[in-house]
Amino acid sequence: MAIHPIEYRYGHAEMKSVWNEETRLSKMLSVEVALAKAQANLSYIPKGADEKITKGAKNVKLDRVKTIEDEIHHDVMAVVLALAEQSDDAGKWIHFGATSNDILDTATALQIKDSILILRTETAKLRSVLIEKAIQHKNTVCAGRTHGQIGVPTTYGLRFAIWASEIDRHIERLDQLTSRATVGKMSGAVGTQAAFGKKGIEIQKKTMDILGIEAADVSNQIIQRDRHAEFVMWMANTVTTLDKICIEIRSLARSEIAEVEESFGKKQVGSSTMPHKRNPIKSEQVCGLARIVRAMVEPELRNNTLWDERDLTNSSCERIVFPESCVLTDHVIRLTSIILQNLRFYPENIRKNMNLLNGLNMGEAIMIDLSRKGVGRQEAHEIVRQCAMSARESGIHMKDALIMNETVSKYLTEGEIIQLMDPDNYIGTAVEQVESLASQLKKRK
């Protein structure tokens, strides 16, 4: 019976397969096989033993490993014994000189490597969606908001471009940390490689070469968890960006704003009691699951604070941190792409909200033009502020308050005021910024 929502509600098969029991066993067997091949190549174990071990690994079954573990209560030794059963007389050379975490940490590195490949692909797809939306809406003028209050105009294209740039930085960070987070080790019980003798460094390098990853430069019984913490923090940072995007979508989808809306299926139900509801449930799911991923940062940071050459407090914790973080991060990246691809826009509401304050939010444009025409910037600010207060209190349009102001009329005609207060004329270089960024990001892989 399924208990955890990842089993039946959240996550995609591709990422789940990286962290399931079968894959975990497969990676551990791959490490044992690579170790045997490296040792045979360096004449540390008899020639041909590695071939029997390689063949035996293909016949190891998860059920048998679990049965052995139930008897001996040691996960790695259960794998070793199950592999030995399938490797004839070469079984005595399996795991020779290694400690459990040589196998476990190196297998984890292989899983993290596979996870990063998926996460990078999906994050790059999200970046492409944002670039597409930025170009599509580069001229969609809307109300900018600061402190939750309507300010001067911006464009939806610029919003999407800002998000695309942030996602691009996450991709850059992921590329930078990959080499640090995906290293393996064969350093033995406390890191000295004593059981491997003078060939320890060669055995470690050869093993990692076979597996296609780098060897840790130095380690004790485990790979130091600052490497893993950096990866978990990357996931937390990335989902926080998605949280921010989806908070904005939820805000803009409020009934009284209603500028955008998540797609809503013909048979979709919004509420069990309010039939009219069209709730932003996908965005809310992103925001909710982002909290879980962020919560993984503290445990993984603490997993680096182990006793001496290591203790076991990280082990149980990481059985949860790694799969949950990877599965949920992948899930919300994909979900955010879907939300954005299918986002509905309501131009009439976008324009209505832009004009909601009867021109009060266009005061900066007047202030700047007055300053250009000889009025001091501070004086111009005070003149426009007084006009704004007057317009707000009397309920008239800001344009009329400005026209009635004697000082303003000395410098600006009615036609100039009207033109300056047109939101479409006050978006600065927003379009150019979008086009420039899109041109840069389209070249990225």
- Residue ranges with strand state E in 92-158: 141-146, 149-155
Q: Does residue 78 belong to any structural domain of this protein?
A: no
Q: Does residue 282 belong to any structural domain of this protein?
A: yes
Q: Does residue 189 belong to any structural domain of this protein?
A: yes
Query: Do residue 194 and residue 161 come from a single domain?
Result: yes
Question: Cα 171 to the chain's mean position, in Å?
Answer: 9
Query: Do residue 9 and residue 105 come from a single domain?
Result: yes
Query: Do residue 295 and residue 195 come from a single domain?
Result: yes
Question: Cα–Cα distance between 35 and 186 in angstroms, integer?
Answer: 8
Helix, strand, coil abundance in the chain, percent, nearest 5: 70, 5, 30
Output phi, psi for 86, to 5 deg: -100, 5
Query: Do residue 132 and residue 228 come from a single domain?
Result: yes
Q: Does residue 148 belong to any structural domain of this protein?
A: no
* Residue 298, token pair as written in the block: 């503290």
Containing domain of residue 182, as a range? 5-45+96-138+153-261+271-350
pLDDT by position in tens, the chain (length 445): 889 999 999 999 999 999 999 999 999 999 999 999 999 999 999 999 999 999 999 999 999 999 999 999 999 999 999 999 999 999 999 999 999 999 999 999 999 999 999 999 999 999 999 999 999 999 999 999 999 999 999 999 999 999 999 999 999 999 999 999 999 999 999 999 999 999 999 999 999 999 999 999 999 999 999 999 999 999 999 999 999 999 999 999 999 999 999 987 767 777 666 767 688 899 999 999 999 999 999 999 999 999 999 999 999 999 999 999 999 999 999 999 999 999 999 999 999 999 999 999 999 999 999 999 999 999 999 999 999 999 999 999 999 999 999 999 999 999 999 999 999 999 999 999 999 999 999 988 8
Query: Do residue 317 and residue 402 come from a single domain?
Result: no
Query: Do residue 318 and residue 394 come from a single domain?
Result: no
Question: Cα–Cα distance between 423 and 365 in angstroms, integer?
Answer: 9
Query: Do residue 160 and residue 192 come from a single domain?
Result: yes
Report which secondary-structure segment, H or E, holds 437.
Answer: helix 430-441
Domain boundary among 350, 383, 407: 350
Q: What is the CATH number of the domain that holds 175?
A: 1.20.200.10
Q: Does residue 381 belong to any structural domain of this protein?
A: yes
Domain boundary among 306, 327, 350: 350
Query: Do residue 321 and residue 397 come from a single domain?
Result: no
Question: Cα–Cα distance between 115 and 109 in angstroms, integer?
Answer: 10
Question: Cα 419 to the chain's mean position, in Å?
Answer: 43
Summary count for the chain: helices (H), strands (E)? 20, 6
Report which secondary-structure segment, H or E, holds 205.
Answer: helix 200-211
Q: Does residue 53 belong to any structural domain of this protein?
A: no
Query: Do residue 275 and residue 393 come from a single domain?
Result: no
Q: Active-site residue numbers?
A: 147, 271
Whole-angstrom CA distances from 67 to 25, 55, 81, 92 are 14, 21, 11, 20
Query: Do residue 390 and residue 340 come from a single domain?
Result: no
Question: Cα–Cα distance between 300 and 322 in angstroms, integer?
Answer: 9
Q: Is the CB of residue 225 less than 8 Å from the CB of residue 304?
A: yes
Number of domain units in the chain: 2
Query: Do residue 167 and residue 283 come from a single domain?
Result: yes
* Residue 314, token pair as written in the block: 């990280």
Q: Does residue 233 belong to any structural domain of this protein?
A: yes
* Residue 401, token pair as written in the block: 């308050």
Question: Cα–Cα distance between 301 and 396 in angstroms, integer?
Answer: 58
User: How many CA atoms within 13 Å lie on the side-chain side of 43?
Assistant: 1
